[in-house]
Structure 1
Amino acid sequence: MGDPTAGRPLRADARRNRDRLLAEARAAFAEQGVETSLEQIAGRAGVGIGTLYRHFPTRESLLEALLRERFDALAGTAWDLRGHDRARDALFRWAREFVASSMTYRGLAGSLMATLHDETSALYASCHAMREAGAELLARAQDSGEVRPDVTWPEVLGALFGVACACERMPEEAGVRADRLLTMLFDGLGTR
């Protein structure tokens, strides 16, 4: 569905409300996870729930607004890494950023996984370019002989979500755990 206000200019007060809602949602999702009460987010932003729903009719549309920038950045990183000398290293670097981004909000990894197969989801549309860019990195690594040819992109993406979910459940030293799990995963992807 997306943001109903996209494409048309907002009045100054509506823009401030939208910006406050996004800031408070970002903070609440980071603190309490993506299932945080929308009423709580509206209250933290100092607006009523009706104002939140005017800007973001669903939880998914609010998440989409927060995540679009992240997905665009991940897609851009993948495109930048296409020129990397070692295709496997480029894929690994992108995978690290993907997992770190997926762990930003507790519950996000599971939420994202659910949208991968729902073409009507607002998050599905906003992460399509990011997924395609990552798939191209995998194809390059396979073409170079650095990654097993029998591995599919959905398998790799599922494994990356698995790493993010596992680390999200063990928040202490999540970054170190993610790196260790990604290293094990990429060792298994190698062609030896």
Structure 2
Amino acid sequence: MRSHKGEARQMGILTRSLCLLCFFFCLPIPGTSAPPSEYQLKAAFLYNFALFTEWPDQVGDTLYLCIHGRDPFGEDLAKLDHRQVGTRTILTRHTLTLNEVQSCHMVFISNTAIGQLSRILEALEGIPVLTVADTPGAMRQGVALNMVRQHNRIAFEANLTAARAQGLNLSSRLLRLATEVEQ
């Protein structure tokens, strides 16, 4: 059972994270007049997904965030390297094979790899890996979190059944922000 102090701390983290997302949405990047790119925002979402996922102890001290397929993030994802998620440190990497995906804790399945989705999910069966995509219909196909564009904003859908099948718990605070939750 979690203490009220722990819940308050987690709520404070969520509030700060949401403020950060609002900051990204509302302000241009210093030195430019352009708002943040779609994938800068999605990188921020990935970080928040990691923060509000309860990881099993077997994950260890390093949380490997992998991109499977062509990397749409560029330098924006590298900014997550060495960021803290609780007591764990994020390290990003790119995967080319299904065996490599099995050593990840969080995997973003890019549009170029979505055709392999059923094989990827099969390879990850029973392994505590949070699957994330940004492809229409991916949540219904078994991806735990799927980012979508809605009214010119980034939103996300959650497949709670898929996350639980991987031994992961998604925070109720995170789920409240989802546009759709499949249970």
TM-score by length of 2: 0.26
Specify which structure has the bigger relative contact order, considering alpha-carbon pairs within 8 angstroms and separated by 6 or more residues: 1
Give the structure with the larger strand fraction: 2
TM-score by length of 1: 0.25
Larger-Rg structure: 1
